[in-house]
Amino acid sequence: MKGDIIAIVIICLIVGGAMAYIIRSKKRGVKCIGCPAQGKCAHYARANKKSGDCGCGCGCSGHK
């Protein structure tokens, strides 16, 4: 019983931390949170500006 409560608390902390990270990133104006390049990759300069795809492989097409 005590182990279940500890596991639930740990899961809630992980989910809460992830939500806080997403909310802060969106407030800062990050277009693609999951992309490690975040629009600054080498392919971005050669990207098709109409599609917004930088070619980094994240698939979000959110780099502007």
Long-range contacts of 54-60 (CB under 8 A, 24+ apart): 58/32, 58/34, 60/31, 60/32, 60/34, 60/35
Question: Hey, how many other C-beta atoms are within 10 angstroms of the C-beta on 32?
Answer: 20
The token pair at 50 is 């109409």
More confident residue, 46 or 56: 56
- Give residue limits of the domains in the chain: 1-30, 32-64
Question: Which among 2-6, 39-43, 50-54, 55-59 has the top mean pLDDT?
Answer: 2-6
The token pair at 52 is 């917004």
- Intra-chain end-to-end CA distance of the chain, in Å: 50
pLDDT at 50: 47
Residue 23 pLDDT class (50, 70, 90 cuts): very high
